[in-house]
Amino acid sequence: MKLPPLNALRAFESAARHNGFIAAADELFVTRGAVSRHVKLLEEHLGLKLFHRNHKGVELTTAGHDLLPVLTESFQAMAEKCGHISASAFELRIICPPALSIRWLFPLLERFRELHPEVRIKLTTDFYGAKGFDTSEYDLGISVEHMPGRSPNIVVLPLFSSYLSPACAPNLLKGQQSLSSPQDLKNFTLLHENPRREDWKTWAREFNVEGFDPSQGEAFPNLDMATKAAVMGAGIVMADMALCREELQLGTLILPLEHMKCEEPHGRYALIGSRDKWDDPNVTKFKDWISEVSAEGAPAA
Amino acid sequence: MKLPPLNALRAFESAARHNGFIAAADELFVTRGAVSRHVKLLEEHLGLKLFHRNHKGVELTTAGHDLLPVLTESFQAMAEKCGHISASAFELRIICPPALSIRWLFPLLERFRELHPEVRIKLTTDFYGAKGFDTSEYDLGISVEHMPGRSPNIVVLPLFSSYLSPACAPNLLKGQQSLSSPQDLKNFTLLHENPRREDWKTWAREFNVEGFDPSQGEAFPNLDMATKAAVMGAGIVMADMALCREELQLGTLILPLEHMKCEEPHGRYALIGSRDKWDDPNVTKFKDWISEVSAEGAPAA
DNA sequence: CTTTTGGATCAGTTTTTCTAATCCAATGTA
DNA sequence: TACATTGGATTAGAAAAACTGATCCAAAAG
């Protein structure tokens, strides 16, 4: 079956729903005549009357009653879906792990919003989860990314490197224990970001340090909290230098072994997204903006 | 949400389904340019791309993938429903009880088909069923109708009267038993149409006949069979004179009490239908035709 | 008896849509 | 390397569709 003229279907649907051509005309922003004409056209197309025309308004025929619901449902479904899709065109769903989010991205985001007020950013502050970056849930992700060979439809844009080095509150070193060589670490509590990274271990491996247990100490759900704990003097955190610049500047954290800093060994901070959406306008805006922001002020040089 | 231009939606749906604008253009009987334009328009309306344009054809974006199914389903549903409705416009569903159908309507119907070949008659030969004439299943019904006061949205068009009188095969009266007064009926087997009518009883009441048992005898599922049984000499049927004109003419049935004939006491043969459809073109064609046919040759005058 | 309500209709105009021709880029083919 | 082929984009002009606004009409309400 060939579909009747769609606009005629719509006019009929509206007229039937409102039980009158005038109401339909109002809804569709046209004149009564236009609606009348559309309905007539549809009736001719189908070969039967859809309305009984009484002196007072119209009333659906059996056929009209039969036809109405499927039209209403269909138009409704299409309108709803188009609405969602259209709304999603102004939406940018970003996922960023906690420390990076709260210590870096979040404060910057306001500037992006000023620059592109039409883009509605939905930021999720969390780790990716077991299956890695979920392209159906998020348009972009920001985190430390191991560059080579991801899934083929994932694109990675490197942003900046960061460096790992042990950090602690200055008071911690005012006691009996000194911390001038890595071996001294055995006398301190180590503070860990638990769920993902094994930064102490990698740092130790990187510098071939032995004589302390890099898994000893206390664990936190993310690096932000571990860092805060360090500020409070709870121990020594393997700090991500890009993420605690404020503490370092204020002097609430110091780097007792500053000469021993290694580049994030898992990779670099990067923006990732699906190839599909990589050239979407909003994604592009964000890409451009974040590249600039990263270049301008990020690395702990 | 305001619906995007419907024709653009259709063009996109077709293009997406075929994975190409050319195939869609063929399906919609337009040029490639038209499809291209429609899709572009829709994309502008939604504010995002629905296709990735590669050198070789097109490929749906995430948004496109998201949008396609609801469109396909909706258009499919609408097309199907319109198809059904449109087909029903050329259909006339008539129900007629067995004896009337086989003895009167059926042979005449060929003439109607010649006159209006575009109307597809679907004749159901059966009694109405417990709830009476079902306006949702049938457009028209033909049967004996008690005129006054039916359900308000049922219309009745009287066609012709018929008459009841006992009938039997001539041989039946060649035996010992004669049949010259109603009281003689007690010596014969009565033949009944079982399911609906109590014609013997009403006839007896009509003429105040006593001295025989009007419920005695054999029953058949309809009057056609009872009449045929009478022709075979099985007994005496309360014949509907309009429905056994052939037998009476041929002499295979006779009316031993011809002076005692009563008009169908339940009413007259009539066409009935729902008020809704009473002026539908096909219904009108049938009304006009059957009125004429009835007037011209029906009554057993 | 007049007004109001709700739809039908028509001529003329506006808007949309389509076509047909031409481009363009990539890819396979000779 | 040349060259046809494929599949989409683009454009101006032409054709078709849709809309308006005025006018009609019939029934019902005031």
* Rounded distance between C-alpha atoms, residue A285 and residue A276, angstroms: 15
β-sheet bridge partners, residue B21: none
Question: Which top CATH class is A91-161+267-297?
Answer: alpha beta
State pLDDT tens for residues A257-271.
988 888 776 678 999
* Rounded distance between C-alpha atoms, residue B112 and residue B177, angstroms: 46
State pLDDT tens for residues A138-165.
999 998 877 665 677 788 999 988 888 9
Task: Locate the chain B residue with the closest alpha carbon to A73.
Answer: B74
SS (H, E, C) chain A: CCCCCHHHHHHHHHHHHHCCHHHHHHHHCCCHHHHHHHHHHHHHHHCCCCEEECCCCEEECHHHHHHHHHHHHHHHHHHHHHHHHHHHCCEEEEEECHHHHHHHHHHHHHHHHHHCCCCEEEEEECCCCCCCCCCCCCCEEEEEECCCCCCCCEEEEEEECCEEEEEECHHHHHCCCCCCCHHHHHHCCEEEECCCCCHHHHHHHHCCCCCCCCCCCEEECCHHHHHHHHHCCCCEEEEEHHHCHHHHHHCCCECCCCCCCEECCCCEEEEEEEHHHCCCHHHHHHHHHHHHHHHHHCCCC
Distance of B172 CA from D14 C1′ (whole Å): 86
Is the Cβ atom of B37 within 7 Å of strand D at any atom?
yes
Q: Which residues of B touch A82 (CB under 8 A)?
A: 1, 3-4, 9, 46, 67
Q: Which residues of B touch A88 (CB under 8 A)?
A: 48, 63
CATH code linked to domain A6-88: 1.10.10.10
B91-161+267-297 has the same fold as B6-88: no
Distance of A177 CA from D30 C1′ (whole Å): 103
Domain extents in chain A: 6-88, 91-161+267-297, 163-263
For residue B214, what are its two tokens? Answer: 């009007």
Which nucleotide lies closest to A18 by the C1' atom and the CA atom? C6
Per-residue pLDDT of chain B (301 residues), as tens digits, is 688 999 999 999 999 999 999 999 999 999 999 999 999 999 999 999 999 988 888 999 989 999 999 999 999 999 999 999 999 989 999 999 999 999 999 999 999 999 999 999 999 999 988 888 998 899 999 988 776 656 777 888 999 888 889 999 998 888 777 878 888 888 888 999 875 567 888 888 888 888 888 888 888 988 999 999 999 999 999 998 888 988 999 999 999 988 888 876 667 889 999 888 888 889 999 999 999 998 876 544 3
Interface of A with B (CB under 8 A): 1-4, 6-7, 9-10, 45-49, 52, 61-63, 66-67, 70-71, 73-75, 77-86, 88-90, 136, 274, 276-277, 280-281
Q: Are B241 and B261 in contact (CB under 8 A)?
A: yes
β-sheet bridge partners, residue B141: B95, B272
When scoring B3, B43, B61, B92 by the number of chain A Cβ atoms within 10 A, the one with the most, hence best to mutate, is: B3
* Rounded distance between C-alpha atoms, residue B29 and residue B4, angstroms: 21
Q: Which of B4, B47, B84 sits opposite A89 (nearest CB)?
A: B47
CATH code linked to domain B163-263: 3.40.190.10
Residue A115 exposure: Cα atoms within 13 Å on the Cβ side? 14
* Rounded distance between C-alpha atoms, residue A31 and residue A10, angstroms: 14
For residue A54, what are its two tokens? Answer: 């009484």
Distance of A7 CA from C16 C1′ (whole Å): 13
